[in-house]
């Protein structure tokens, strides 16, 4: 059984590993420059997180009464979707100030690594032509 390269093509393992390391380093540096904080759930000026729990609680109550209740399952899933979407929507993402050199270094590492990964997935015979 012959060992094939990245993506089942001949060769390209070294490029793939180098690209992976570069992309991971760039992604880590980029994520290190981001601050994420949460906000409050507001609806017409009032905190509305409690309202998002109503379908979830009703679904749980219906499922405790009858575990095969289709309406109960729909309310439970809808409540979970509302809660997860609400958490995501209320996130505030900020990029920390950094120098131009650091920004360029991050972008070169990230996108250079992705480019090497993509290049390694091509057959190495096609690359050398």
**Could you read off the pLDDT of 108-127 as tens digits, one per residue?**
999 999 999 988 887 766 55
Tokens found for residue 35: 């601050």
- Predicted local confidence at residue 79, as pLDDT: 93
- Predicted local confidence at residue 7, as pLDDT: 64
- Judge if 27 and 44 occupy the same domain: no
Task: Work out the number of other CB atoms within 10 angstroms of the CB of residue 99.
Answer: 8
Q: In this structure, are residues 53 and 84 in contact, taking their beta carbons and an 8 Å threshold?
A: no
Domain span at residue 60 reads 37-94
- Residue 9 clears pLDDT 80, i.e. is over it: no
3-state helix, strand, coil in the chain (%, to 5): 65, 10, 25
- Predicted local confidence at residue 3, as pLDDT: 59
Rounded CA separation 77/81 (Å)? 6
Position 46 confidence tier, pLDDT thresholds 50, 70, 90? confident
Sign of the C-alpha dihedral, residues 116, 118, 119, 120? positive
| Model confidence pTM above 0.75 | no
Task: Work out the number of other CB atoms within 10 angstroms of the CB of residue 72.
Answer: 19
Average of per-residue pLDDT values in the chain: 86
Overall domain count for the chain: 2
- Predicted local confidence at residue 56, as pLDDT: 94
Q: Considering the domain boundaries, does residue 6 fall inside one? A: no
- Residue 32 clears pLDDT 80, i.e. is over it: yes
- Judge if 88 and 100 occupy the same domain: no
17, with CB counted inside 10 A (0-12, 13-18, 19+), is middle
């Amino acid at each position: 059984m012959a060992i094939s390269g990245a993506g089942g093509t001949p060769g390209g393992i070294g490029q793939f590993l180098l690209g992976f390391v570069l992309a991971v380093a760039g992604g880590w540096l980029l994520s290190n420059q981001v601050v994420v904080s949460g906000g409050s759930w507001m609806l017409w000026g009032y905190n509305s997180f409690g309202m998002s729990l109503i379908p979830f609680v009703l679904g749980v109550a219906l499922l405790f009464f009858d575990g095969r209740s289709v309406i109960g399952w729909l309310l439970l899933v809808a409540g979970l979707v509302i809660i997860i979407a609400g958490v995501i929507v209320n996130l505030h993402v900020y990029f920390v100030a950094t120098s131009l050199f650091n920004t360029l270094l991050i972008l070169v590492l990230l996108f250079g690594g992705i480019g090497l990964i993509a290049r390694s997935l091509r057959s190495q015979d096609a690359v050398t032509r």
